[in-house]
Amino acid sequence: MQTSTFATSLTIIISTLLVMSLSAAVIYFLFLYQKKKFRHQQELIEMREAFNHVLLQSKLAIQEQTLNHISKELHANFSHLVSLININLSEILPKSPAGQRENILETKSLAKQLMSELKALSANLNTDHIINIGFVQALQNELNRLAKTGRYDVSITKTGEEYRMQPEHEIILFRLCQEVLNNVVKYAKASKVVSKLSFSDDNFILTIADNGDGFDIDQALKQSGEKQSTGLLNMRKRASLINADLNITSHSGDGTIVTINIPHPQILKTYAV
């Protein structure tokens, strides 16, 4: 009797342990499989991000090439034509009756103005020129053009010791600023544009603020799909491409402040390593 009791107890305990081990194995397999699935998902996300990054870089490269081409066309072809108009006007001027001279002089002045505008536009579109003069000067030129329109009170302040960023980063940053200023002109109904550039050992902070109508950022992002407007998304993508932190603060009626924070080029190099 004693032996059979012991044997029964042992059988129950062993079978329980066996079934428990099998159950634990099933659970372990489940967790292991899910872990592998999770790792696979992470790899997919990384691959997708890398692909998007390359795609965006190619898009920007194509865009820069196009802008360069337009810039060269403006400089070589259009400027040449305007110069010819000016020369023709100069030739006509002495032969023309006194009553028309005033008009011809006015047209000559307009042609000169057109020439200088064309040159400025060509310079702004030309990547090599922007790399040559640097981001700060290029932005200053862009703001000067804005001020010349007479519709805006433009101010620019600079703090800290200025340094150059990587040329391709400067181009992307400049295009980003052009997008911001373009938005000010198109939508803001502002009268004042304030730009602050702050260079420090850790980062470069650029702030562009206007006193316009402002907008609801969340709503604008939601409506971007309906209106097929990609301005805000493009700005964010460009910022992420140069590891910049883009922050837009705006409320209806309160104007808009765009802040771009870029780590110092040395720090960015450390990241890359």
Partner 1 sequence: MQRFFSYEYMYLLPLLLSAILSLKTFRPGWPKQYRLFAVLIWTTLLAEALANLWIHKLHNMFGWDYSRNNLWIYNFYFLIRLVLLASIFYQILYEPRTKKIVYGVTIGLIVFGLADYFIIQSPFQYNTYSVISCHVTLIALCLCYFRQLLQAPGIIVLHKEPMIWMTLGTFLYQSASLPFLIMFGFLNLQHSPLALSLLFINDIFNFIICTCYLISFLCKPQHSQPL
Query: Where do contacts with partner 1 occur on this chain (CB under 8 A)?
Result: 5, 8-9, 12-13, 15-16, 19-20, 22-24, 26-27, 30-31, 33-34, 37-38, 40-41, 44
Q: Helix 135-148 vs helix 167-183: angle between axes, to the nearest 10 degrees? A: 20
Please tell me whether residue 250 adopts helix, strand or coil conformation: strand
Work out how close the CB of 48 gets to partner 1 at its nearest, in angstroms, rounded to a whole number.
Answer: 11
Closest to partner 1 by CB, 34 or 65: 34
Work out how close the CB of 46 gets to partner 1 at its nearest, in angstroms, rounded to a whole number.
Answer: 13
Work out how close the CB of 54 gets to partner 1 at its nearest, in angstroms, rounded to a whole number.
Answer: 22
Work out how close the CB of 33 gets to partner 1 at its nearest, in angstroms, rounded to a whole number.
Answer: 6
Which sign does the torsion angle of CA 19, 20, 23, 28 carry?
negative
Work out how close the CB of 182 gets to partner 1 at its nearest, in angstroms, rounded to a whole number.
Answer: 36
Closest to partner 1 by CB, 13 or 87: 13
Closest to partner 1 by CB, 30 or 50: 30
Work out how close the CB of 53 gets to partner 1 at its nearest, in angstroms, rounded to a whole number.
Answer: 20
Written as six digits, the tokens of 135 are 């981001």
Closest to partner 1 by CB, 30 or 62: 30
Whole-angstrom distance, CA of residue 256 vs CA of residue 51 = 33
Cα 212-179-131 angle, rounded to 5 deg: 130
Closest to partner 1 by CB, 42 or 230: 42
Which sign does the torsion angle of CA 236, 242, 245, 246 carry?
negative
Written as six digits, the tokens of 156 are 């620019």
Closest to partner 1 by CB, 46 or 216: 46
Amino acid 201 reads D
Closest to partner 1 by CB, 37 or 158: 37
Written as six digits, the tokens of 232 are 């805000």
Whole-angstrom distance, CA of residue 258 vs CA of residue 249 = 6
Q: Which residues pair with 204 in a beta bridge?
A: 199, 262
Q: What does the buried/exposed string (b/e) look like for 183-193 if buried means 16 or more CB atoms within 10 Å of the residue's CB?
A: bbbebbebeeb
Work out how close the CB of 222 gets to partner 1 at its nearest, in angstroms, rounded to a whole number.
Answer: 21
Work out how close the CB of 55 gets to partner 1 at its nearest, in angstroms, rounded to a whole number.
Answer: 21
Q: For the chain, first and last CA: distance in Å?
A: 76
Closest CA relative to residue 260, chosen from 231, 227, 238, 229: 238
Closest to partner 1 by CB, 13 or 221: 13
Do the Cβ atoms of 206 and 266 come closer than 8 Å? Answer: no
